[in-house]
């Protein structure tokens, strides 16, 4: 039995919905970066209240720590080399079970400033997660303190 496709006014709505779905699928991995940009612009223009800014900064901080796309960076068996698979955030590694939280252990427990800097800033493209997380943490602490003191922006 053949299905007859009838073109009409409803097709435009389906096409727009498909485009929106594709755009959201491409932007969803970067939701924390978008939240961070909104938080910084709200802070600079004083359009957002302190509670809203704190919530936006906390969300973006969590994204930078556990979901931002970047290399795994966990140590592998070859000397002085790290895993180059896609990882998630500053604290998490790739999909391999042994490496999921190895970055967090290395950053928090192992000494060595040079190694930590190399892990936080692996290259210019993915190295934005480190400063972004630091900026989000500063924004969160600043807005929380200002809110508690009664001097919030807004």
Q: In the structure, what pLDDT confidence band is assigned to residue 121 with cuts at 50, 70 and 90?
A: low
* pLDDT at residue 119, rounded to an integer: 65
User: Could you give the percent of the chain with pLDDT greater than 70?
Assistant: 73
Whether the predicted pLDDT of 83 surpasses 70: yes
Instruction: Reduce the DSSP state of residue 70 to 3 states and report it.
Output: strand
CB contact burial 75-85 (16+ within 10 A = b; e otherwise): beeeeeebbee
Residue 24 CB partners (closer than 8 Å, separation 6+) = none
* pLDDT at residue 29, rounded to an integer: 82
Angle in degrees, 0-180, between the axes of helices 50-66 and 129-149, rounded to the nearest 10: 150
Cα separation values, 50 from 29, 36, 98, 122, Å: 26, 14, 40, 33
Q: In the structure, what pLDDT confidence band is assigned to residue 111 with cuts at 50, 70 and 90?
A: low
User: In the predicted model, what is the mean pLDDT of the chain?
Assistant: 75
Average pLDDT over residues 138-153: 76
Whether the predicted pLDDT of 64 surpasses 80: yes
pLDDT per residue as tens digits for the range 31-45: 888 898 888 888 888
Residue boundaries of the structural domains of the chain? 31-149
pLDDT per residue as tens digits for the range 85-107: 888 777 777 777 777 777 777 66
* pLDDT at residue 125, rounded to an integer: 58
């Amino acid at each position: 039995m053949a299905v007859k496709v009838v073109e009409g006014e409803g097709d435009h709505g389906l096409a727009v919905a498909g485009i929106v779905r594709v755009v959201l699928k491409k932007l969803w991995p970067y939701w924390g970066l978008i939240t961070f940009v909104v938080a910084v612009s709200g802070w600079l223009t004083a359009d957002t209240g302190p509670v809203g800014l704190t919530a936006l900064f906390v969300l973006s901080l969590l994204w930078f720590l556990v979901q931002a796309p970047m290399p795994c960076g966990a140590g592998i068996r070859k000397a002085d080399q790290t895993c180059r698979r896609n990882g998630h955030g500053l604290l998490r590694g790739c999909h391999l079970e042994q490496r999921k939280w190895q970055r967090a252990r290395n950053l928090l427990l192992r000494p060595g400033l040079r190694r930590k800097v190399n892990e936080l800033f692996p290259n210019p493209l993915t190295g934005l997660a480190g400063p972004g997380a630091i900026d989000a943490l500063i924004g969160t602490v600043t807005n929380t303190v200002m809110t508690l003191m009664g001097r919030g922006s807004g």
